[in-house]
Amino acid sequence: MRGSLSFLMRTATFPASFNQLDNIREYVNIFTKEAGMDDPGRCAVEMAADEACSNIIEHAYTGYSSGVIECTIEFDDDSFTIVLHDHGSPFDLTSVPLPDLSEELENRKIGGLGVFLIRELMDDVKYENRGQMGNFLTLKRKISRIK
Amino acid sequence: MEINVQEFKHCDLLAINGKVDSFTAPDLIKAIEELQNNGKYKIVLNMEHLEYMSSAGFRALLIGQRNSKRYNRGELVLANVPQKIMDALELTGFTPLFKIFSDITTAVGNF
C-alpha cells in the first residue's frame, strides 16, 4: 500500500497573512505525521514552514492585503519537501546574512534569526524567482535525520 | 495565545499559554511592556502551557529582556520551558541571555 502511494503531492493555498500561520502549521503537521517523521523532525519542519511563510508574508507581500501562499507538500521514504509559492516581491532568503548568535544582549539582532532556523532545521533550502510565475522556496528534510 | 499575570511580592509571574508566532507575538510584547510601564521589571515567564514559539516569540523575549535589564531594573527569567522550545532557544543562542528554571517556586525565589 505504502509503496505505490509513496510519492504524492498535496497543495493548499493560504491567504498571506499572519493569522494563517496556525492553519499552515496544522496543514504541514498532518503530512509530517503521515510521512512517519519522528517528533523532533515534525517540530523542525513545522517551525521551518512557519518561519518561511512569515518571511514571505512580511517581505514579499509588504503592502498587499490579498496575496496568497501556495503550499505544496511531497514526501517519500527518504525525504519530506515543502514548496512555497508566492507572487510577491522577490525575497531570496538564502542570501540573508546569518545573525551573530554570540553577541551580548544589547547588540543581539533578531533579523536573520528566522532564516537561520530554516537553514538549520531543513537539509536543503532553495529559492527561485521565476519571473511572472512568482517565487518558489523549496524546503527539504531527510525523514531519517536525527535532530 | 493567552497571557495570565499574577503579582508576587518581589516579581510578577506572566504565564504564556498557547502559541506564539508572528501573529500573536505583538500581544506578548505588549503584555511584557505593560508590566514594565508600571514599574515591574522583574518578571518570571511561565512556559508550562506554551505549545509553540517561533522566532517572533524569541524577539519578544529579547525586547523584554533588554528593557528589564537596562539600568539594572530587573530581568526576565524563564520557567518550565518545554523541551522543544528549549532546543530552539539553544539552537539560536538564546540560552545565555536568560536564567532558566525548572519550576515556578525557584524562579520566583530568584528575586
The CA-based diameter of chain A, rounded to the nearest angstrom, is 55
Question: What is the spatial distance between Cα B45 and Cα B82, in angstroms, rounded to a whole number?
Answer: 12
Question: What is the spatial distance between Cα A15 and Cα A17, in angstroms, rounded to a whole number?
Answer: 6
Q: Say which of A54, A57, A101 has its CB closest to residue B54.
A: A54
Mean pLDDT score, A35-51: 96
**pLDDT score for B59:** 95
Mean pLDDT score, A59-69: 76
Global pTM value = 0.93
Residues A72-131 have pLDDT tens digits of 999 999 999 999 999 988 888 888 888 888 888 888 887 789 999 999 999 999 999 999
Distances (CA, A) of A8 to A11, A29, A35, B93: 10, 16, 11, 37
**pLDDT score for A1:** 45
pLDDT band at residue A65 using 50, 70 and 90 as cut-offs: low
**pLDDT score for B38:** 98
Q: Which residue type is seen at A123?
A: D
pLDDT band at residue A133 using 50, 70 and 90 as cut-offs: very high
The three cell numbers of residue A1 are 500500500
Q: What is the 3-state secondary structure (H, E, C) of A7-55?
A: CEEEEEEEECCHHHHHHHHHHHHHHHHHCCCCHHHHHHHHHHHHHHHHH
The alpha-carbon gap from A113 to the nearest alpha carbon of chain B, in Å, equals 6
The alpha-carbon gap from B106 to the nearest alpha carbon of chain A, in Å, equals 24
Interface of B with A (CB under 8 A): 19, 21-23, 52, 54-56, 58-59, 62, 65-66, 69, 84, 87-88, 91-93, 97
Residue B48 has pLDDT above 80, yes or no: yes
Domain B2-109 has CATH 3.30.70.20: no
Residues B79-101 have pLDDT tens digits of 999 999 999 999 999 999 999 99
The three cell numbers of residue A50 are 512557519
**pLDDT score for A94:** 85
Residues B25-41 have pLDDT tens digits of 999 999 999 999 999 99
Residues of B in contact with A54 (CB under 8 A): 21-22, 54-56
Question: What is the spatial distance between Cα A146 and Cα A70, in angstroms, rounded to a whole number?
Answer: 29
In the three-class reduction of DSSP (H, G, I as helix; E, B as strand; rest coil), residue A73 is classed as strand
The residue ranges of DSSP E strands in B43-86, in sequence order, are 43-46, 50-53, 76-79
**pLDDT score for A8:** 63
Domains of chain A: 14-142 (3.30.565.10)
